[in-house]
Structure 1
Amino acid sequence: MQRTIAIGDVHGCADEFEELLEALELTPKDRVIQVGDLVNRGPDSRRVIELARQYNVEAIVGNHELRLLEAWRNNKPSLLKDYDRPTFEQLTEDDWLYLEEMPNVLYDAKIETVFVHGGFLPDIPWQKQALEIITTIQVIDKKGNAAKRSDAPDAPPWADTWRGSPFVVYGHTPRPNVLERPGSIGIDTGCVYGGHLTAYTIGDQTLTQVRARKAYAHSKRLPDPI
């Protein structure tokens, strides 16, 4: 029986990524989709990409990949943040090509599910939403615009207003626990912040998690560690 399994934000946490992939006991029939921010912040982004290749993981582009790619394509290291630089220096030509081939979203009509990094605005067809929106949205502000939690701390998560169809599986917004709503599930459980790396199996709606070995980064919004 084929399973479709989604994995949350890895952020360069190679040991945890490998542990989770092994715990899933994958078969050649399984499809594994990673919902973006495969790299950055954690200790070994290059090995994470190697593992993704080894296990045939289909990774979606996240905001971290986009910023790295923009700096690489345009030869503008000034676009990089401090935690981008170790990743930028680690990656090989093949790694950059892997990042370039990441799709913006993945949609599976058979299970009426779309996989995306950040999420969607509720009143625009998901297929027509800009890449910047779908990779960065966390909340919807008072004007109905996509926003980050830091810019609109009292605004509700976009998932609170999403009713589907399709069902949405996403990452990007780290939380101590998954966020389940009738039309979506958020599976970034803050591995890089000392939380968990989470996999969600679509059919039976089960979660598989591994605990972070340590907190590799720190967040102003979350317990330290999660």
Structure 2
Amino acid sequence: MATYAIGDIQGCYDELISLLEAVSFSPQDQLWVAGDLVNRGPQSLETLRHLKVMQDQVKIVLGNHDLHLLAIHYAATGPKRSDTFHDILDAPDRDELMQWLLHQPLLVNDKALGYTMVHAGIPPQWSVKKALKRAAEVEQILQSTLAREFFNHMYGNKPDHWSGSLEGWDRLRAITNYFTRMRFCDAKGRLDFSVKSGLKNQPEGFLPWYKHHGKALHKGRVIFGHWAALEGKADHESVFALDTGCVWGGTLTAMRLEDQKMFSVPSKQRDSE
């Protein structure tokens, strides 16, 4: 039995199947997916259906594109011109797929393996224990009758830093932004969303979240996606960046957690950003 963690799929279904074949994925193996299952790629519906069928072998965390899809499903916002998941919105099993997606967590932690998985990152001031508690606050709302209202309040860059005194939708938005949108922050966890590219353009006074050597990195390893511009290189012994830009013409990458061996397959997509 082996455990494979995979970066952002974003509807690149054919590459997902090729990668599973490349690692000889078996019924005894487990698959971790670091969020952004859908959008921008050509086969979001096939991707969701396949992972749902595999659900007993799969652990998933929600990414910002997954939450965006759910927000559209709940009519909290409209599709963007760049969205490519209309096949899901038109599918006869849409409601079933959305309910399954809605019940996925924001954070996965396996003490035995020694890994935590999140889509974007964990702010430096949170331990894994704290991060799990914060994630649970959002997950509880997502899986309640308040889900639609949550999506009505989800979008926005403020508040841009954490305080234990935050309440209501501001608190839940801040938690969601840390887990699903963060790239750069300062040592106190203040967020900067102005830059989405690589490290050469980092905003003054800010570093990649993992460069602050936060509490979550003291006793474990963190897997994340979200940041294709890193090209899979976090340059930190306890942090593994697995979004290698498949949807932009890069590769789809998996890491076997037991020995940190990497596997990649080339993209079949054109660079269409």
TM normalised by structure 2 equals 0.72
In structure 1, C-alpha distance between the alignment counterparts of 2:132 and 2:191, rounded to whole Å = 16
Partner of 1:35: 34
Judge conservation of contact 1:107–1:114 (CA < 8 Å) in 2.
yes
User: Do the aligned partners of residues 14 and 90 (structure 1) sit closer, same or farther apart at CA in structure 2, a change above 3 Å counting?
Assistant: farther
Q: Within 5 Å, which residues of 2 pair with 1:53-202?
A: 53-56=52-55, 57-73=58-74, 75-78=75-78, 80-84=79-83, 86-87=85-86, 89-91=89-91, 92-125=94-127, 126-129=131-134, 130-141=175-186, 144-148=189-193, 150=195, 153-154=202-203, 155-162=206-213, 163-175=217-229, 177-180=231-234, 181-202=236-257
Alpha-carbon offset, residue 144 of structure 1: 3.9
Instruction: Give deviations 1:73-124, integer Å, cap 9, x for gaps.
Output: 2x2343x322236435344222212211211111101022111100011112
CA RMSD of aligned residues (A): 2.1
Partner of 2:140: none
Instruction: Give deviations 1:13-52, integer Å, cap 9, x for gaps.
Output: 1111111111121122211010000000000100011221
Q: Within 5 Å, which residues of 2 pair with 1:47-58?
A: 47-56=46-55, 57-58=58-59
Amino acid at match of 1:171: G
In structure 1, C-alpha distance between the alignment counterparts of 2:195 and 2:231, rounded to whole Å = 19
Judge conservation of contact 1:6–1:33 (CA < 8 Å) in 2.
yes
TM normalised by structure 1 equals 0.86
In structure 1, C-alpha distance between the alignment counterparts of 2:209 and 2:270, rounded to whole Å = 27
In structure 2, C-alpha distance between the alignment counterparts of 1:118 and 1:90, rounded to whole Å = 29
Moved more, 37-46 or 116-125: 116-125
Partner of 2:155: none
Judge conservation of contact 1:139–1:149 (CA < 8 Å) in 2.
no
In structure 2, C-alpha distance between the alignment counterparts of 1:96 and 1:217, rounded to whole Å = 27
User: Sequence identity of aligned pairs in percent?
Assistant: 29
Structure holding more helix per residue:
2
User: Do the aligned partners of residues 82 and 159 (structure 1) sit closer, same or farther apart at CA in structure 2, a change above 3 Å counting?
Assistant: same
Amino acid at match of 1:156: L
Give 3-state SS (helix, strand or coil) of 2:228's partner. coil
User: Do the aligned partners of residues 114 and 149 (structure 1) sit closer, same or farther apart at CA in structure 2, a change above 3 Å counting?
Assistant: farther
In structure 1, C-alpha distance between the alignment counterparts of 2:242 and 2:207, rounded to whole Å = 17
Amino acid at match of 1:62: G
User: Do the aligned partners of residues 143 and 159 (structure 1) sit closer, same or farther apart at CA in structure 2, a change above 3 Å counting?
Assistant: closer
Amino acid at match of 2:113: I
Alpha-carbon offset, residue 141 of structure 1: 4.0
In structure 2, C-alpha distance between the alignment counterparts of 1:165 and 1:90, rounded to whole Å = 45
In structure 1, C-alpha distance between the alignment counterparts of 2:248 and 2:42, rounded to whole Å = 12
Q: What runs of 5+ residues in structure 2 fail to find an aligned partner?
A: 135-174
Alpha-carbon offset, residue 4 of structure 1: 1.5
How many equivalent pairs are there? 215
Q: What runs of 5+ residues in structure 1 fail to find an aligned partner?
A: 219-226
Partner of 2:137: none
Partner of 1:13: 12
Alpha-carbon offset, residue 176 of structure 1: 5.9
Partner of 1:223: none
Q: Which one has the largest radius of gyration?
A: 2
